[in-house]
Amino acid sequence: MDMKTPEKKLGIKERYRYLTRDLAWEPSYRSHDEIYPYLAYEGIKIHDWDKWEDPFRLTMDAYWKYQGEKERKFYAIIDAHAQNNGHLNITDGRYLSALKIFLQAISPGEYAAHKGFSRAGREFAGAGTQVACQMQALDEIRHAQTQIHALSNYNKYYNGFHAFSDHRDRIWYTSVARSFFDDAMAAGPFEFMIAIGFSFEYVLTNLLFVPFMSGAAYNGDMATVTFGFSAQSDEARHMTLGLECIKFMLEQDPDNLPIVQKWIDKWFWRGFRVLGLVSTMMDYMLPKRVMSWREAWEIYGVENGGALFKDLAFYGIRPPKGWEDAGKAIDHMSHQFMLGFYQWRFGTAFHSWIPSDDDMNWLSQKYPTTFDKYYRPRWDYIRKAEAEGKPFKNFGLAKLCQCCQLPCVFTEPDDPSQLCHRQTTYKGEIYHFCSDGCQDVFENEPEKYVQAWLPMPQLFQDPVNGDLAAWMDWAFLTDGKDNGEYPGSGDQLNFDRWRGLATSNT
Amino acid sequence: MSSVFIALQANEETRPIIEAIEADNPQARVSREPAMVKIDAPGRLVIRKQTIEENLGRDFDLQELHVNLITLSGHVDEDDDMLTLHWDR
């Protein structure tokens, strides 16, 4: 009689080989170039796709299992949040501004990344690469969905959450993130991997999802912590994929080095400009703060980014061109952004405010070389004007950078008393930039950026035609409700009243 | 030598994992932050299946780490028994 012996369980490496590499085949009746038409035009040379190693060796079956577990945990907490007055358990209603910016600027980016990885998974040739891109495409749509779902609970109670996708497409401060993703999606597959895998995942998400989410926990926002950490658990895999892709390109052919370097320069700077939003959320919009933007940058920018570039030096990669300018901007950017938000507060789908004495003391402690010297006097001036009944508002339209699309509110790297402005002429037209980094990006690919849609010129086009009220209708922004100052806003009145109801019986 | 790190959600599932990482990496520095635990180590950090299983009292598949993982840095080497983060080659 035959004895059935249980088959030995496959090891992680064999499982990966059977369930990933073995799924691929050599085409017989169409050529490789016909099937993968976008692999060559960026100039990247790949000789052996099998050299691609997925370090996590995650197979699809294991992927579904662990992602399913993450979703169950996520929805258990979202239910608890909705059932337990989660919208009242945050430290203060001002915190909601950070969530609104997140939903308007970042969550649609997750969806864009989903579309991009679906495409990259099709366009890359290696089976390992295809499977990794497929997983990331699924991750990214999960992130978009869980973020929208988690924040929809706040939309039942507060203003400014109702039209995030239109705000993403039509309002000025979100277009820094929108143009980042549009630029990435309009790039070839290899550049897309640097844009998302390196810049968005390695540079951005650690700063966004780790200290900011830890800050969300500190501010009693269970829903956001949960989607944040749940998303970031996938990012660890994405960062590893991004890093692997860079190493793979560099190992495949020495001719790839200058191309990869140029992309690293470009995408570091583009990512850094998006981080301006994050810096402001961290320094100004968390009522209880875990760490300053500067402290977070030290850990995840200087230390972790520095370690990465030290490692990539092995291949001849140097730190990104804008690295030094970025270092000089760290102590200024959140203040410059918040002053911009405050003075153009009629045009934001979130609330801003003048920082309190406590907040300003915290800022001067965290930014000893810059806050008291450059920014406290401006807030003091704004506060005085407000007390005199002449609140400071700027109804002028900002000059936008043709590359990052932000208003040119940044200062010269070596002189914080001078606004930084660069311009270039291309085919008879003048284009403006906020920095050398953005000008460089434009000058490398002018034909791409002259086509950019910019929010300010839109104001003078149909259907807005220069009318502010028409612009607000078009941008799904209700004046006096979604925009303006936090003190006296519907959000403040409701938060205070409902919190009172939740903690007393009258 | 640059540091590597791993950050895990602070919860009941990760407590025994973090204890195992501490035991296997005496040079590691553990920072407990709101809702998360970040473990930094100079150059190299190892996460061993066996130590986690001893702490946990049950079988543990190293890929279960994905559920509570927040972020990491360094090159990743993974096999059935051990996950290593390192910067050296």
| pLDDT tens by residue, A352-392 | 999 999 999 999 999 999 999 999 999 999 999 999 999 99
- Taking the Cβ of residue A232 and every Cβ of chain B, the question of whether any pair is shorter than 8 Å is answered with yes
**Residues A36-53: tens digit of each pLDDT:** 999 999 999 999 998 887
What is the Cα–Cα distance from A411 to A413, expressed in whole angstroms?
6
Edge-to-edge order in the sheet of strand B3-9: B29-33, B36-42, B3-9, B69-73
What is the Cα–Cα distance from A361 to A267, expressed in whole angstroms?
35
- Taking the Cβ of residue A501 and every Cβ of chain B, the question of whether any pair is shorter than 8 Å is answered with no
* Token representation of residue A245: 């892709």
Question: What are the start-end ranges of the H helices in A22-162?
Answer: 32-35, 60-83, 95-101, 107-123, 127-155
ipTM: 0.88
The residue of B14, B36, B40, B75 whose CB has the most chain A CBs within 10 angstroms, and thus the best one to mutate to test that interface, is B36
More confident residue, A230 or A264: A264
> Which one, of A397, A444, A438, lies nearest residue A421 by Cα?
A438
Residue in A69, A218, A243 closest to B67 by CB: A69
pLDDT at A18: 87
Residue A204 in this model has a pLDDT that exceeds 90: no
More confident residue, A89 or A365: A365
Burial A429-456 (b: 16+ CB within 10 A, else e): eebbbbbbbbbbbbeeebeebeebeebe
Structural domains in chain B (count):
1
Residue in A217, A235, A303 closest to B34 by CB: A217
Residue A423 in this model has a pLDDT that exceeds 60: yes
Enclosing domain of residue B53: 3-86
Residue in B2, B7, B9 closest to A310 by CB: B2
Per-domain residue ranges of chain A: 49-395+467-503
pLDDT at A4: 66
Q: Which helix (H) or strand (E) holds A50?
A: none
pLDDT at A396: 83
What is the Cα–Cα distance from A306 to A304, expressed in whole angstroms?
5
**Which residues of chain B have a Cβ shorter than 8 Å from any chain A Cβ?**
2-5, 7, 9, 33-36, 62-64, 66-80, 87, 89
Residue A170 in this model has a pLDDT that exceeds 90: yes
Q: Do A66 and B63 touch (CB under 8 A)?
A: yes
**Residues A428-486: tens digit of each pLDDT:** 999 999 999 999 999 999 999 999 999 988 889 999 999 999 999 999 999 999 999 99
Q: How far apart are the first and last CA of chain B?
A: 12
Please identify, in words, the CATH class of the domain defined by A49-395+467-503: mainly alpha
Most confident range (mean pLDDT) of A145-159, A195-209, A227-241 is A145-159
Place of tokens 């197979």: A59
What is the Cα–Cα distance from B22 to B28, expressed in whole angstroms?
7
Q: Do B34 and A308 touch (CB under 8 A)?
A: no
Q: How confident is the model at residue A69 (pLDDT cuts 50, 70, 90)?
A: very high
Indicate which CATH number applies to the domain containing B29.
3.90.56.10
- Taking the Cβ of residue A290 and every Cβ of chain B, the question of whether any pair is shorter than 8 Å is answered with yes
Percentage of chain A exceeding pLDDT 70: 98
In angstroms, the separation between the Cα of residue B29 and the nearest Cα of chain A is 14
- Taking the Cβ of residue A78 and every Cβ of chain B, the question of whether any pair is shorter than 8 Å is answered with no
Q: Do B66 and A310 touch (CB under 8 A)?
A: no
Cβ contacts of B81 on chain A, cutoff 8 Å: none
Chain B contacts in chain A segment 308-367 (CB below 8 A): 308, 310-311, 314
